[in-house]
Amino acid sequence: MQLGVLGLGRMGANIARRLMRAGHTCVVFDLNQSAVEMMTSEGAAGGVSLDDFIAKLTPPRAILMMLPAAFVDPTIESLRPLVAPGDILIDGGNSFFHDDIRRAGELSPAGIHYLDVGVSGGIWGLDRGYCLMIGGEAETVQHLAPIWEALAPGIAAAEQTPGRDGTSTAEHGYLHCGQHGAGHFVKMVHNGIEYGLMEAFAEGFNILHNANVGKRGREVDAETTPLRNPELYQYDFDLAAIAEVWRRGSVVSSWLLDLTARALRENPTLSNFTGHVADSGEGRWTLDAAIDESVPAPVLSAALFARFSSRGESEMADRLLSAMRYEFGGHRERGPG
C-alpha cells in the first residue's frame, strides 16, 4: 500500500522506514530537503515541493502529517487545492481533539476524509512498533488497516490478557477509538497519565537520592526545620541499581522504568540535564477535559504544575512567600542548601 508521509522529524522518518520494511511504498516530503534525500536513499520516493509530493501519490491518496500541532492547519490549507475527493488526510501529531472535529467538518463537504491518530512509541517505534489510537470514519480507518498493522507492535508485544482471543485490533497495538477527535482524545489522556507516572518516578527517586540527609550539616536557627533523628537518614543509595532491581518482578516495572534505569546507568547524577521540563499541551488539555467532565485529577494536575515550576514559573510566587515572611516576622532568606 502507498502512503505519503509529510514531516520527517524524530517520528515521521522512522514511520516511513517501518512501513517500507513491511513492504509498503512511501512518498515523503519535508521542508528540509536533506531529510528527503536521506529517505530517498533508503528507498522512498521524495518530493522536491508539496506539488511534486502530491503528484507522486496515486489517487485516492492517503497522507500522514507528522507535524507539530501549530503547523497542521496551515499545512492543510496548503494541501486543500492539491488534493481531490476521496483523498485521506491523517494527523499523526498531538493536536487538540477540538481541532480534529473542526477540521473533519471543514474537509467533509469537499469529499476529503480526515483521521486523527494518536501515536505513541517515540524514537523507539521503528523497532518496537507504534501504539495507534485512531479517530474518524470506520470505513476510512478500515481501508488503511494494512498501514496500521505494519506500524503497530503486533500481538506478541505483550502477554495476552486472560479472556482475550486475539481478534481485537487493540491486541495488535492499534484501535479505532471512535468518531473524529476520539484518537487524539485518547492520546491526550495517555500523555496526561504519562506526566503523572513520570512525576511519581521522579519524586520517588528524589526521596531515595536525599536519604543521606542525616550526614549533612544543618544550620541550627529559627529559619531551619531541625532534622530530629539524623541517624535514621544515613543511606547512600545506588539509584541506578535500585532502578535495575525494580525492573524485575516489581509492581512498578514498566518501559518508563526501563528508560529511567538506562539514563541512571549512563549518568548516575544526571548532570547532563538541567531539569527544565517542557510540556507540549496534552497535559493541559487533559485537565481541561477533567474540568468539563467534573472529574477530579489531582495527580495529573500536580504533575503538570511541577513542570511549570521546573521552568521557573513559580519564581514570583516563591519571592512573594519570602517577602510575606519577612514582612510579618522579619524572617530573612537563607541560601540554597
- Of the candidates 42, 137, 149, 194, the residue annotated as catalytic is 194
Does residue 56 carry a catalytic annotation? no
| Chain centroid to CA 45 | 28
Query: For 198-210, how does the pLDDT look when each residue is reduced to its tens digit (9 = 90+)?
Result: 999 999 999 999 9
Residue 218: what residue type? Answer: R
| AA letter at 54 | I
Determine the pLDDT at residue 50. 97
pTM of the full predicted structure?
0.93
Catalytic-labelled residue, pool 187, 215, 313, 327: 187
pLDDT for residue 222: 76
3-state secondary structure 45-104: EECCCHHHHHHCCCCCCEEEECCCHHHHHHHHHHHCCCCCCCCEEEECCCCCHHHHHHHH
What does R_g of the chain's alpha carbons equal in angstroms?
25
**pLDDT attached to residue 62:** 98
**pLDDT, averaged across the chain:** 95
Query: Which residues of the chain, if any, have pLDDT below 70?
Result: 336-337
Cis, bond preceding 60 (omega within 30 deg of 0): yes
Q: Which DSSP symbol is given to 159?
A: P
Virtual CA dihedral for 27, 30, 32, 35, nearest 10 degrees? -40
Please give the single-letter amino acid code of residue 143: H
pLDDT reported for residue 219: 78
Task: Give 300's contacts (C-beta < 8 A, 6+ positions apart).
Answer: 192, 193, 195, 196, 283, 286, 287, 290
Q: Is-catalytic flag, 42?
A: no
What per-residue confidence (pLDDT) applies to 296?
A: 98
